[in-house]
Structures are given as C-alpha cells and as structure tokens.
Structure 1
C-alpha cells in the first residue's frame, strides 16, 4: 500500500484566506466557501493552483483526486485537451464581441438536436440565470404568477430560491407554493390552493437537498407532474443545472418517458467555461422571444466553442457510460470498505453523483471527520453535498481513491 503523507500543510492557502478576508466580504462566499461554519474541516483547501484530468493541486502544491469536479462543471476533466484546444482557437478569433458568432448558432443547433424535448435554446452564464429565465418565460406564456416548488429544493441564488433569507423580503417569495418532493398528493394540494394561477411547476430530476438522502422520484410522481401541468396549463420546468450530461444526454426524465416544457441547464455544458442554457418546446417559443433578458458576456464565443467540443467528446468517447461505470465501482468500493471497518453508511443519488452519509449522525461529526481524513490523504469528498464523478476519472484514479478512503475509514473507525 502506498504511504500517504497525512501531514500536508496549507500555509499558502491560509495566507490567501487572510488576504481575501481583507478585500472580499466573507473572503469566499456561496457554495465554494470552505470554513467550519460550512461544515468543512481545516484540512480542506480553499484555493487551488491547477487541475488536470481528475486531479487538482492546491496553492501549497498538494495533489488530490477530486470527487467534486468544481461542484459539477468538470465532466470531461480539468484541462481537457480537446475542449481547451477549441476554446483557444476561438479565443484567438475573439471572445466577447459586439454580437454573437457562428458558434452561438451552431451550439444552439447541437443542443436542440441532443435534448429530446428541445425545439429552441437560449443562453446565459450561470444556473441561476437559467432557472430565472425559465420562470419569466413561463409567466410570460401563461399570464400567471404562482410557482410550485418542492420544499427546501434549491433552484439558484436569486431571491425566489436562495436558501438564505438575508436581504430577501416577503414579496420576493409571496408567489411560491411548496410541496413535498415525490409526493403527488402534496403537489395536487399545492396546485389546488392557487387554482387558476399556476405559472410553472419547478422540479429537480432527483431530490438533492443538502444534508438529506438523495433519490429519483417514482415514475408515478414524474408522470403526475406532467399530467398536472397539462391539465392546468402550467409550464413544467425541469431544473437540470446539476444533472446536465450526467444522467442522460437527452434529458434526465427520459427514463420515465416524461419531457418538460422548459429545461434549465448549466454546470457541465462547457466543461468549466461559463455557460448555461434554457431549452424549450415550440409552444413557448413566442413567450421566450417576448421577454427581455441579457448580459454583456452571455453570447461570448469561447464558451460556445468549448461546449461544442465537450458534447462531441462526450459522444465520441462514450463519456456518460464511462462515468457511470466509474461511479458504480466507487460506490461499491466505499460500501465494502465502510462495512469492513464496522461503519454504517448510506449512499444515495445518481450513480455519477453519489451522496454518502453515516448512519445515526444528526450533526455530521463522522462525515466531517471522514472528509478530513480523506483530504489529508489527497482525496476531495464532501460531508453534506453530493459528489461528482466525471468521464475523466480513470480506473486508476478510482483505485487510488479507494486505497486512500480505506485508510480514511480506518482512521474514523479507530476514533469512535
């Protein structure tokens, strides 16, 4: 077994945290913030210097096999040579110009040809942009105001959906009615409470609230959502920001035979280049054309070139299958290791996006300890967020991960 240096230091990382605190409120904010108040151990790096394939190096030179993939964007691997070559070629011609280039149209054509229900596409930069655009399109199409969403479901960092109420006023959320995920009766009650005024049902393909078991809904629920939208004239918005290209290239609810009216996509679209998309059906085309949404960088050429190359690479290398295979080997290995060390763990969520929790642990102490032990051995996991496996995780990468997580489980077991 390879000897792992568990005494790695984060000196440069600590210096950068202090510098950031002086000039940025909170230092680092949002889901990328790595601090104790976010449930992260002190061994977890905040600042990184570079990445390659499934590996990351922090600013202190420590190497990690990364099971977070930048929280999802890296689907073809860091510094993927095919994607980066396409991005460099477009950059040499220009990125943000006075108007879009041909790649903008080409990628829209490619996306419409890939996503099963898509008749058109619009673009922005972040997942929040995409979910916000979807809501506005639905309201423009229906002339209604109410949004039905699952309780605690995250759909972006705008005032409607942000998990924090700081700076949010009651009117921002006055038109949201919540239901229980995967509970069709609850959804029906929510719709009945605002009958005649439902603009959209907003739902994630699988439940991925933080800190809870993550799962796909029943086929009955998915089909019931579609039927309710059809019956009430509401738009069905599928928030695929997290699942883009990680479950099914054609759409995450194709497994149920359910196609939404609008899909919000981001993260893995361009393998780390900033891009999000809304794709939709023809009946919403006029409404989509009627709204005013814009951004000075939304039609920049480099992300579109990268996105085309990412999609080509995923198709040509059968990236989705390789990702799912790697995810299954990882999950099987983690389960066997935990059991061998007498630790009860539960793994949920899609194969390519595993969520691991320890049994009977309301305050995450063991999960944080495991994350700490793994990070000190050069593996990045997360104590309360789902992980991500990419098509760049080779069998050798997964074997390295499992060698090190076995040691991490052993350390946790000894401390209990």
Structure 2
C-alpha cells in the first residue's frame, strides 16, 4: 500500500512486532528510536529504504525528512556507497587487522577536513566524543570539561541527558556555559580554575531535548571560544556528529576561519554504515597515540569503504548548498501554510537541519498533532527533534510533501481551533 492523499490509520504488522519485542527487548524499544514516546501513528519498524523514501513493515510509504536521525545523506540504498561496501564485504570485513581502506579513509579525512592532520576511527558518535575528551585530558593532564548547557554529546556517563545509572562523580568535572554567551564561558573557565582540559560544543546550538529553538553560532562568540581555549590552554573539541558533511564538507566553522583542535564525526560519514571518526591537529597526535582506545569492530573495512565512497560523492559538488536550497523551499512552504491556517510557527537552524515549533506549545501537543497528521499522509517529520535534508531530496519532493502538510495543518487546526 502506498500513501497518496489518503491516511494510514492502522499498522497491524508493526503492532505484532511491538508485542513480540515487548517480551524480549526492555520496554520493547529503547533510546531515541522508541516511538512509544511519539504520537500515535508513528511506525516503529521499517522494511525498506530507497532514495528519500521509507516503507514500514505494513507497506506504507513515507517521504523521509528524518534521514534516520542524520546518517542518511546520499539516499537510502545509494548504489555507489553500497557497491563499495559490498566489494569490501566480499573480501572480508572484520579481519585479523584493518584493511587498506583504513589508511585510505584517514588520508581522505585529512585531505577533506581543513584542520585535520590525523584521523582515528570508531563506530558511533559517543565513541568519537569520548575519544576526543580522553585525548584532551591526556594532552593537558587536566580534568574539567566546559560544555554548552544542555547540549547532547553522547550516551555516556558524562553527557547522557538522563542521569539514571550514572553517579554524581561521573559529572563532577563538567561545567556548563550558555551557547553564544562569552561572559558565561569566561565564568565557566574561571570556575575551572586552571583545570580545564577542553571546551566541547557543537557548531550551532541544537540541544536535547529539541523543544527549544536552534541557534546559529555568533561569529564573535566562535572567535571568542577559540581565543579563550588558546589563552587557558584547553583543547577545543567540535562535536560534528550531527552536523558533519551537511553544513560544510571541510568543517562547519571553516567558513568563519576558525579551526578546532579535535572534531568528532559520525552519522552522515558513510550514509548509514556504522563508523565514526576523531580528527585532530598535529600537536595532539602523540596524546592520541598514547591513550588506549579500541573496539572489536572499529577496524572493519566495509564501513570504511562506504565512507570513502560517500565522502567522494559529497565533495564532488557543493552538496551543502544543494541541501540548504531544498531545505529553504520546505521551510518557506511550511511558514506560508502555517500562517494560512492561523498558526504562528518558528523555524530555526540551518535549512539542511530545520526545526519547527508552534507558538505557546511548551507541551508539544500542537507539534505532536501536526507531525502525526503529516506521518499519516506519508511525510515523516518529528515533533521535538530537528529534521534533516539529504542530497536525495529534490524540489519535486518538497512540493509533494507540502501538498500533504497543508492538509496536516488543516487537520491540526480542527483540534486546536
């Protein structure tokens, strides 16, 4: 069954899988993929992805503006990326040691990312941010981390927004500051008292939970962060797990002329294959070599081959500009539709990673109703997390989506008249 203008209302295969999962998986699902936290109608299980479309296990088709929460950037089942991964898979993936793809990918990362002199690889974003923090502490001999407020930097004991299972000691060396507020950062540095190992932040503010606006970095703040890190001898860590290769292929702050010391990448690196990376400047090379960091699957070749192919696609043309252009079309259309249906909405963040919220909607009830109505019409959105554009999204796709979001706004108006 393909959704056109009609609505899907029941997901019987999905419901049966949820019932089975509830018996063998804690809560049936966990983490950010747990759709019991979402409005009714969101599918939990999917069967297929191709280009910018997903099909759930009940056969419903969706135009996907979540891109698997970021990993999909070149289209699901991209033939170039998949062929590279499959070719390596046929020769072996996790072998007795790394393949030549590891060296090739490290060379590519150094050539692509402006400030990178070396690269290390792991499997997911938490691996990468944890590696970066460990390297910074090893290099400085210090403990404190200066972190931007409620920013999410991974599901480890240091950064997990849910403290359950961690101890106060795990977070005792974190000092928060406000994004885009140099005075707040200066105060955090003063509180660290000479024990600041690193400043860690994202290229722009996209905190978790995502029910507040995203904030593009103030260039003066960015310059101030770099200057403060240099002055106090702290390592500047850029968390590009969510933003990497969508905002700029050489590093998100490169257009500002500002280079971090370490950057963590993951999500979009390999178009859905499991890999992450930390790249860094030459003066941190020895500290990166001295720490012990490893994983049984960190050196596997198939994901590295996929990353090489995917980064090649992304650097062949100005793909961030393409994603921003199409994302702006979506944003403009949604703004016009919301106004026509009597809603005040606020959109923030770069067009390639848009976020929409409704006025006076702290409970997210309106956002939940709108996104659920859109999902029932075949447009996959999220009420509390930023969305993602990919190179597979076109102007025609946006026009198709806007026909359906217009109906979703109309349905939402009947609920919140």
TM range (shorter): over 0.9
Superposition deviation, residue 365 in structure 1: 0.8
Cα displacement (A) at 1:317: 4.5
* Cα RMSD after superposing both structures: 1.0
CA displacement at 1:315 relative to structure 2: 2.1
8 A contact 2:120–2:279 mirrored in 1? yes
The aligned residue for residue 231 of structure 1 is: 231
Q: What is the CA–CA distance in structure 2 between the aligned matches of 1:125 and 1:283, rounded to whole Å? A: 24
1:8, distance to aligned residue in structure 2 (A):
3.7
Whole-Å separation in 2 of the counterparts to 1:382 and 1:148: 30
Q: 1:112 aligns with which of 110, 113, 123?
A: 110
Q: Distance in 1 between the 2:46 and 2:336 partners?
A: 31
Report the Cα distance in structure 2 between the residues aligned to 1:316 and 1:248, rounded to whole angstroms. 13
Distance in 2, matches of 1:82 and 1:7, equals 33
In structure 1, the partner of 2:89 is 91
Task: Determine if the alignment matches structure 1 residue 34 to structure 2 residue 35.
Answer: yes
Q: How much does 1:341 deviate?
A: 1.1
Tell me the SS of whatever aligns to 1:227.
helix
Q: What is the alpha-carbon distance in structure 2 between the residues aligned to residue 317 and residue 273 of structure 1? A: 22
Residue pair 2:135, 2:288 contacting (<8 A) in 1 also: yes
How far off is 1:186 after superposition?
0.5
Residue 374 of structure 1 is matched in structure 2 by: 374
> Within 2, Cα distance between the matches of 1:397 and 1:8?
23
Give the deviation of 1:400 after TM superposition: 1.1
* Per-residue deviation, residues 4-24 of structure 1 (Å, max 9, x unmatched): 121442111111111111101
Aligned partners of 2:4 and 2:267: how far apart in 1? Answer: 35
Per-residue CA deviation, residues 17-73 of structure 1 (Å, 9 max, x unaligned), is 1111110112111111101xx2x1110011000000000000000000000000000
Q: Is the 8 A contact 2:64 2:380 kept in 1?
A: yes
CA contact (8 A) 2:4 2:378 kept: no
TM-aligned CA distance change 1:3 to 1:63, over 3 Å: closer
1:25 is aligned to: 26
Match of 2:59 in 1: 61
Residue 219 of structure 1: how far off its partner (Å): 0.9
In structure 2, distance between residues paired with 1:7 and 1:222: 46
Residue of structure 2 equivalent to 1:47: 45
Give the secondary-structure state (helix, strand or coil) at the position aligned to 1:79.
coil
* 2:247 paired residue number: 247
Q: What is the rounded CA distance, in whole Å, between the counterparts of 1:327 and 1:114 in structure 2?
A: 24
Give distance in 1, aligned partners of 2:15 and 2:132.
40
- 1:345, 1:357 within 8 Å by CA — same for their partners in 2? yes
2:196 aligned with 1:198: yes
Determine if contact 1:8/1:62 at 8 Å carries over to the other structure. Answer: no
**2:166 aligns to what?**
168
1:356-375 matches, cutoff 5 A? 356-375=356-375
Q: Tell me if structure 2 keeps the 8 A contact 1:108–1:122.
A: yes
CA distance in 1, matches of 2:356, 2:235: 33
1:205-216 correspondence runs (5 A): 205-209=203-207, 210-216=210-216
* Match status 1:129 vs 2:130: no
Aligned to 1:263: 263
The match for 1:402 is 402
Unmatched runs of 5 consecutive residues or more in structure 1:
none
Shift of 1:184: 0.4
Distance in 2 between residues matched to 1:194 and 1:43, nearest whole Å: 47
Give the whole-Å Cα distance in 2 for the aligned partners of 1:94 and 1:332.
47
Q: Which runs of 5+ in 2 are unaligned?
A: none
Task: Specify the SS of the correspondent of 1:26.
Answer: helix
How far off its partner does 1:148 sit? 0.3
> Do the aligned residues in 2 keep the contact of 1:215 with 1:350 (CA within 8 Å)?
no
Quick check: 191-200 or 6-15, which moved more? 6-15
Q: Tell whether the 8 Å contact from 2:71 to 2:268 is kept in structure 1 after alignment.
A: yes
Shift of 1:320: 2.3
**Matching residue of 2:17:** 16
Question: Which residue does 2:314 correspond to in 1?
Answer: 314
SS at match of 2:163: coil
> Among residues 144, 151, 162, which one is paired with 2:142 in the alignment?
144
* Partner Cα separation in structure 2 for residue 122 and residue 227 of structure 1: 26
Shift of 1:250: 0.7
State the shift of 1:3 in Å.
Answer: 5.5
What is the alpha-carbon distance in structure 1 between the residues aligned to residue 276 and residue 389 of structure 2? Answer: 20
Among candidates 153, 156, 171, match of residue 155 of structure 1: 153
TM-score by length of 1: 0.98
Measured at CA, do residues 3 and 114 of structure 1 come closer, stay the same or move farther in structure 2, by a change above 3 Å?
A: closer
